[in-house]
Structures are given as structure tokens and as C-alpha cells.
């Protein structure tokens, strides 16, 4: 799609140039500035988590445990998981793109509670600093799952400190969810009915439900682990009448839906991109909207499929296996509706769309292999193998990160007021796709052949080396693919061509304001008189821009 | 305080606070008694009553006219029931040996 370059004009006042200085950022209550604060913070943690991943992949390059020893390796995969899950993936799309876009997409000046929004960032930073301190002073070796009794009775690593860091960061997530729910309910512009909301908003609404209702459970669970270690209460200790599996029930009650905190917003992003770059209204709008809510609710019914071989009741396992299949239904509804939207669409292969295509393929593979794991028989075979590792990376990296990068490219002109270099962006999307598959597809085969996860030394299974070398090579390619966007986004902030208000000719209120937007988003309150995704209308010959103001 | 919810008179807050203290004392006392299989039931009942008091009075759910508030409370209870109910599918049917 061509990106028209506007004539140079005097710089308008916007959220970026209205005020300058460190304090204008650190004390801001502007949702867009807070989104950028989150962007910087999560990028920092992404590279820390990525550094741990790099060390893990280097260790597995050879069968022998030659780069690090077992204890260090245990800490590497633990810290990689904790940082990536709690400090990158969970806040990624909601706290950056959601923060920036939710008020604009519904025609509001800001979120309902701007100060609470800033507080959520500070809580994230406090949690992050605690996690950094924990890492620098020894780290944790339990895996990101903190399983009892190892975490409660045996390990001497920094469990309590890491738990506290996640506890604090969890409140940041709760506050973001709370802000979104209230904003979406109470602050929609006149005419912005529920059935006219962009599906990005429906996805964030569903995500917020999970953040609000699920996160307190992990907070309580972490407190119980700390209390168990300090006071020996016996909640998870069978000798004192407790049950170690209770920890897994509580942990996965949040941590399985947490995957949907990562993937639902990515689905929202992809929906916007597919509609724009196929120039069509989303097929089955209501089904896509309600499938987001269904995923949020069904996501809470499936947690014990993580525990099939942990010693839980076989009857309960049957129940959870059946329920796990149920969550595939709304996910499939989305994939089929996106595909139907593409059908006979006027498809443009710009960088955001390449990421959306990547998302479609990788999420589908990740989702379908999830069904393998929901089946009791296969799960017994592949539990704790690289098959599981590959599966959840296809969802959490192939799905969520592809969605995040697609969204960053799609809305970058709005965020920065500058265009990124399209050629480089397409190349980066291709490199990410190839690098990702090269890294993680071999892991499906490794897992199915029996390579266990969390082993630093596989010298008794040297036949696994070829696939591990492929995987490590892929990780290097993937790393280049992730560095490229960071470089050209930074470059474009200074040297990129100025973006017009609506460089993609996209539907949605955020495109009807300036790029970058003014502090309160709109010069006058928008009144919505059109349906979402009115691309046929926008593309109609001689069509006039739909008026925004009264 | 939101204009949509009614606050209770100050004595009510003190009464609720006192009731919560009594609840705490009762919990501690109940922990010293061996009620057999009712140990957990008694503790949970007291805790539930206390949580209800906090939600109704300190969190202003009582007298709230907002549909959104009611929706949040109902959703929270629904998800709590999911947590307890589905966890019980394991505990009620596990082979204990």
C-alpha cells in the first residue's frame, strides 16, 4: 500500500512536543506518554530475557554441559521465563499499544483513571527493579512455575524476592485491566456503541477481565509460598496436612489464562491489520467480538491440563481434557473469520500484514499442538519434553510477539508521527518468521523423540545435536530479526518521513486525529455515525472523509 | 467517593470494624479447638462472612447503583466458584492412599 507523504507543514502541538524534560515524562498522566514509558521498560526486559535465551541456546549447541553447569542452567531458564512472562509478554500489547490506543479508539481524552495508570507503571518498575536485584544477587532455580515442594521446602535461591517482584508487578497488571474496563464502559464517544467498537477494544476488554480476576490468585499463591517457606504453615506440605498439587491448581488457575492475556490483545491487533490490509469489514464481527469473551471465560476452565501427570485424579483429568478442547472453539472461530475476511479482499503485503500472516500461521500451529497436549494419551508421552516448549513458544512468541511487532509497525506512524522504512520492515518480518520457525520447529521433533526440557546436558543422547544446532542457529537469526525493528524505529524518529494523519487510509477513530496526536487526542469530541471497519465506504470512488466532529 | 454509591454513616463503619475484629478473634479461638473435619468449614465460614462485610461496607457494594459494580462483584464470585468447584473435581475423586 502506498504511503502518501504530506507536504511539509509547521509542527503542530502534540503529546510529544507539548512539554520537555525528564519530569514531564516521569510525572505525566497522559496515557500516550505512559505507553511510551512502558515501551522503553518492556524493551529493556525483553533484551534481558533474550540474553538468557541466548545463553540457553548456546549451552545446548553441544550435547555436553560445557558452557555452564547445572545450577547456572537452572537459573538461566528460570530467569528467562520469569522476565519474559511477567515483565515482557503480559504487559507488552496491553500496556503499550492498549494504553496508547484504547482511549483514542473509543473517542476518549484519556483513560478513566490517569493517575492510576501512572501508578501502574511505577509498580511495574518497582517490581522490575526487585527482579533485577534478585537476578544480580543469585537468581532463582525453580523454573518460572515455582512448583512446591521444591520452591517451598528445598531450594535456597531467592524465591521470596522473585515472588515479591512478581507480586508487585501483578498489581500493575490489575490496575491496567481495571482502567480499561471502566474506560470502555464509561468513556465511549457519542455513537460509539458496543457493536461499533473496534475488535481491538473487545480483545482488550476480555484481557482486562482476566487481569482483574485472575491476577489476584497468583498474588495470593505467591504469598502462600512465602508464608510456607517462612512459617512452615503446611499448606503445600503433606506432612502437615497440605497438598503440593494445591500449589499447581492455584498457580495454573492464573497462569494458564495468563497466556490469553498475551494472545488476546495480539488477536485484537491482527484483526485491525487484516481488516485494513484486505480493505474489508471483518467477516462475522459479532462472532469475533464474543469469541474474545468466550476465550477469557473458557480460559479459566482448562488449567489442570498442565497437571495430567502430576498425580491428580484421573476423573478430574478427563474433565479438564474435555474442557481444554472447548477453548479451541472460539480460537478457531477467530481464525476462520480472519480467513473469510481475506477472501476476495484487496490484500496489501505491507510489513504489518506480513506479521499478521505470520501470526495466523504460527498461532494455528501453536493452537493445534495445544490440542495434542489436551489429549491425555499424547500428553503423557510429551509432558516435560521440548514438544511442550515448542508449543508454548509458538503461541507466546509466534503469536503474541508477532502480533506485538505487527501492531508496532501498524501504529508507529501514529505513535511517532514518522514513517518507518517499509523495505527494511518487510525484510525484518521475513527474518523473524524464518528465524522463529528455524528455532522452534526442530524442538517439536526433539520433544516428540523424547528430549526432556530443562536438561543442560544431553551427552547420553548425542543424536539430538543436529536439531539443537538448527535451533540455536535459528535463535541467532531471530535475534537479528528482533534487533532490526528497534534500529529502524529509532532511526525513523529522526530521519523517517513525516506521517500523515492516516497513512494506511485505515478506519478507526485513532486515524482521524493528528499524527502524533494532541495531548487530549481530539480537537473536538468525535461523534460516531458509522460502523466499524467501513472500508467499502472509505474506498468508494470519490468518497469523502467521514466527518468526525458534531 | 463516587456520586453513584451511598456511603454509610460513620458508626456503621466502626460497627463493621468491630465485627471484623470479633471474626478474627473467633478464627483464632476456633483454631484451638479440634472440630475434626469441620475445622476448615468453620474457618472458611468466618472468613467468608468477614469478606462479605468488607465488600458490602468498606468497598461500598451495598447501596451501589452502578450496574458495572454489580457486574464486577458477580463476575468475581463466579470466577471464585470456578476455582473452588473445578479444584474440587480433583480433591473429591483423587485416590488417596
| Section A346-354 average pLDDT | 97
Closest CA to A130 of A166, A77, A78: A166
Q: Are A60 and A472 in contact (CB under 8 A)?
A: yes
Give the residue carrying C-alpha cell 468491630. B18
In this predicted structure, the answer to whether residue A220 has a pLDDT above a threshold of 50 is yes
Looking at mean pLDDT, say which of A166-175, A226-235, B29-38 comes out highest: A166-175
- The cell numbers describing A297, all together, are 471465560
pLDDT exceeds cutoff 70 at A471: yes
Q: Which three three-digit cell numbers place residue A458?
A: 544431553
Non-local CB neighbours of A333 within 8 Å, separated by 6+ positions: A284, A287, A288, A291
| Chain A residues in contact with B76 (beta carbon < 8 A) | 213
Amino acid A5: pLDDT: 55
Q: What percent of chain A has pLDDT over 70?
A: 97
Q: What is the pLDDT of residues A300-312, one digit of tens each?
A: 999 999 999 999 9
User: For all residues of chain A together, what is the average pLDDT?
Assistant: 94
Check residue A10 and give its pLDDT: 61
Q: Where are the alpha helices (DSSP H) in chain B?
A: 10-32, 39-53, 67-91
At residue A469, does pLDDT exceed 90?
A: yes
Contact of A67 with A58, CB cutoff 8 Å: yes
Angle subtended by helix axes A114-136 and A159-186, to nearest 10: 160
**What is the band of A548 on the pLDDT scale with cuts at 50, 70, 90?**
very low
Q: What tens digit of pLDDT does each residue of A425-465 get?
A: 999 999 999 999 999 999 999 999 999 999 999 999 999 99
The H or E element spanning position A256 is helix A244-277
The pLDDT-based confidence of A543 (bands split at 50, 70, 90) is low
* Contact status of B79 with chain A (Cβ, < 8 Å): yes
CB distance A316–B90 less than 8 Å? yes
CB of B77 within 8 Å of any CB in chain A? no
> Taking a C-beta distance cutoff of 8 angstroms, is the pair A162, A131 a contact?
yes
Instruction: Give chain A's largest Cα–Cα span.
Output: 78
Interface size A-B, in CB pairs within 8 Å, comes to 49
> CB of A291 within 8 A of CB of A252?
no
* Contact: B68, A300; criterion CB under 8 Å: no
pLDDT at A115: 98
Interface of A with B (CB under 8 A): 181-182, 185-186, 209, 212-214, 217, 243, 245-246, 249-250, 253, 300-301, 303-304, 312-316, 319-320
The set of long-range contacts for B11-15, using a CB threshold of 8 Å and a minimum separation of 24, is B12/B57, B13/B57, B13/B58
pLDDT band at residue A135 using 50, 70 and 90 as cut-offs? very high
Query: What mean pLDDT do residues A232-236 have?
Result: 90
**Which of B75, B86, B87 is nearest residue A209 as measured by Cβ atoms?**
B75
DSSP designation for A522: -
Find the distance separating the first CA and the last CA of chain B, reported in whole Å.
Answer: 54
In angstroms and rounded to an integer, the radius of gyration of the C-alpha atoms of chain B is 17
- Residue A533: CB atoms within 10 A of its CB come to 26
**What pLDDT is recorded for position B6?**
62
- Choose, out of B67, B79, B90, B92, the residue to mutate when testing the contact with A (most A CBs < 10 Å): B90
Has residue A398 got a pLDDT over 50?
Answer: yes
**Confidence bin at A207 (pLDDT 50/70/90):** very high
Q: What is the pLDDT of residues B59-85, one digit of tens each?
A: 888 887 778 888 888 888 999 999 999
Pick from A269, A396, A290, A283: which is nearest to A340 by CA? Answer: A283
> What is the C-alpha to C-alpha distance for residues A308 and A1, in angstroms, rounded to an integer?
48
Q: Which of A317-321, A393-397, A525-529, B8-12 has the lowest mean pLDDT?
A: B8-12
- A6 pLDDT band (50/70/90 cuts)? low
Rg of the Cα atoms in chain A: 23
The distance in angstroms from the start CA to the end CA of chain A is 31
pLDDT band at A11 (very low <50, low <70, confident <90, very high): confident
Mean pLDDT, rounded, for A527-547: 80
Q: What is the CB-side half-sphere exposure of residue A190 using CA atoms within 13 A?
A: 7
Please state the ipTM of this predicted complex: 0.83
Assign A549 a pLDDT band (cuts: 50, 70, 90): very low
pLDDT at position A550: 35
In angstroms, the separation between the Cα of residue B79 and the nearest Cα of chain A is: 7
How far, in Å, CA of A145 to CA of A216, rounded?
16
What domains sit in chain A, N to C, each tagged with a CATH number? 31-536 (1.20.210.10)
Q: Are A379 and A418 in contact (CB under 8 A)?
A: no
Between the alpha carbon of residue A196 and those of residues A103, A199, A200, A440, B29, the distances in Å are 15, 9, 11, 39, 56
Amino acid at each position: 500500500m502506498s504511503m502518501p507523504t504530506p507536504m511539509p507543514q509547521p509542527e503542530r502541538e502534540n503529546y510529544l512536543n507539548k512539554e520537555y524534560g525528564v519530569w514531564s515524562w516521569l510525572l505525566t498522566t497522559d496515557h500516550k506518554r505512559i505507553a511510551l514509558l512502558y515501551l522503553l521498560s518492556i524493551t529493556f526486559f525483553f533484551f534481558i530475557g533474550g540474553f538468557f535465551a541466548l545463553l540457553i541456546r548456546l549451552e545446548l549447541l553441544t550435547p555436553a554441559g560445557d558452557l555452564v553447569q547445572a545450577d547456572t542452567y537452572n537459573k538461566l531458564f528460570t530467569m528467562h521465563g520469569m522476565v519474559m512472562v511477567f515483565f515482557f509478554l503480559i504487559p507488552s500489547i496491553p500496556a503499550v499499544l492498549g494504553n496508547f490506543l484504547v482511549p483514542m479508539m473509543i473517542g476518549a481524552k484519556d483513560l478513566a483513571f490517569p493517575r492510576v495508570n501512572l501508578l501502574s507503571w511505577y509498580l511495574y518498575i518497582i517490581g522490575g527493579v526487585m527482579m533485577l536485584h534478585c537476578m544480580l544477587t543469585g537468581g532463582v532455580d525453580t523454573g518460572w512455575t515455582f512448583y512446591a515442594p521444591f520452591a517451598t521446602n528445598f531450594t535456597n535461591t531467592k524465591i521470596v524476592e522473585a515472588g515479591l517482584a512478581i507480586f508487585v508487578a501483578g498489581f500493575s497488571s490489575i490496575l491496567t485491566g481495571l482502567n480499561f474496563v471502566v474506560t470502555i464502559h464509561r468513556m465511549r464517544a457519542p455513537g460509539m456503541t458496543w457493536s461499533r467498537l473496534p475488535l481491538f477494544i473487545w480483545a482488550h476488554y476480555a484481557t482486562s477481565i482476566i487481569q482483574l480476576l485472575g491476577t489476584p490468585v497468583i498474588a495470593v499463591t505467591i504469598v502462600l509460598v512465602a508464608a510456607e517457606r517462612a512459617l512452615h504453615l503446611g499448606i503445600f506440605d503433606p506432612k502437615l496436612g497440605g497438598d503440593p498439587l494445591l500449589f499447581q491448581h492455584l498457580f495454573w488457575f492464573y497462569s494458564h489464562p495468563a497466556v490469553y492475556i498475551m494472545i488476546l490483545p495480539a488477536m485484537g491487533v491482527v484483526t485491525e491489520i487484516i481488516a485494513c490490509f484486505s480493505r474489508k469489514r471483518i467477516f462475522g464481527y459479532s462472532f469475533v467480538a464474543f469469541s474474545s469473551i468466550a476465550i477469557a471465560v473458557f480460559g479459566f476452565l482448562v488449567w489442570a491440563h498442565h497437571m495430567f501427570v502430576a498425580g491428580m485424579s484421573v476423573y478430574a483429568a478427563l474433565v479438564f481434557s474435555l474442557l481444554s478442547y472447548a477453548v479451541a472453539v472460539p480460537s478457531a472461530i477467530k481464525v476462520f473469520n480472519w480467513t473469510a475476511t481475506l477472501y476476495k479482499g484487496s490484500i496489501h503485503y505491507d510489513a504489518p500484514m506480513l506479521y499478521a500472516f505470520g501470526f495466523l500461521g504460527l498461532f494455528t500451529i501453536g493452537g493445534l499442538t495445544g490440542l495434542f497436549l489436551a489429549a491425555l494419551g499424547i500428553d503423557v508421552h510429551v509432558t516435560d519434553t521440548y514438544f511442550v516448549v515448542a508449543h508454548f513458544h509458538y503461541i507466546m512468541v509466534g503469536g503474541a510477539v508477532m502480533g506485538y511487532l505487527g501492531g508496532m509497525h501498524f501504529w508507529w506512524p501514529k505513535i511517532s508521527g514518522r514513517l518507518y522504512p517499509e523495505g527494511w520492515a518487510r525484510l525484518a518480518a521475513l527474518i523473524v518468521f524464518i528465524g522463529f520457525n528455524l528455532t522452534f520447529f526442530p524442538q517439536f521433533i526433539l520433544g516428540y523423540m523424547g528430549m526432556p526440557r530443562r536438561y543442560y546436558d544431553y551427552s547420553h543422547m548425542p543424536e539430538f545435536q543436529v536439531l539443537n544446532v538448527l535451533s540455536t542457529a535459528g535463535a541467532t537469526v531471530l535475534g537479528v530479526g528482533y534487533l532490526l525493528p528497534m534500529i529502524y524505529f529509532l532511526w525513523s524518529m529522526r530521519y523517517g518521513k513525516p506521517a500523515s494523519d492516516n497513512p494506511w487510509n485505515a478506519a478507526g477513530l485513532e486515524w482521524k486525529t493528528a499524527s502524533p496526536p494532541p495531548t487530549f487526542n481530539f480537537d473536538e469530541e468525535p461523534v460516531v455515525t458509522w460502523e466499524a471497519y467501513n472500508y467499502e465506504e472509505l474506498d468508494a470512488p470519490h468518497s469523502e472523509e467521514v466527518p468526525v466532529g458534531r | 467517593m463516587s456520586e453513584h454509591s451511598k456511603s454509610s454513616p460513620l458508626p456503621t463503619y466502626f460497627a463493621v470494624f468491630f465485627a471484623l475484629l470479633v471474626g478474627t478473634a473467633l478464627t483464632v479461638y476456633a483454631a484451638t479447638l479440634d472440630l475434626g473435619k469441620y475445622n476448615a468449614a468453620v474457618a472458611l465460614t468466618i472468613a467468608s462472612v468477614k469478606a462479605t462485610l468488607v465488600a458490602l461496607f468498606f468497598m461500598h457494594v451495598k447501596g451501589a447503583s452502578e450496574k458495572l459494580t454489580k457486574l464486577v462483584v458477580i463476575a468475581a464470585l463466579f470466577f471464585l466458584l470456578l476455582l473452588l468447584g473445578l479444584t474440587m473435581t480433583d480433591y473429591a475423586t483423587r485416590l488417596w492412599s
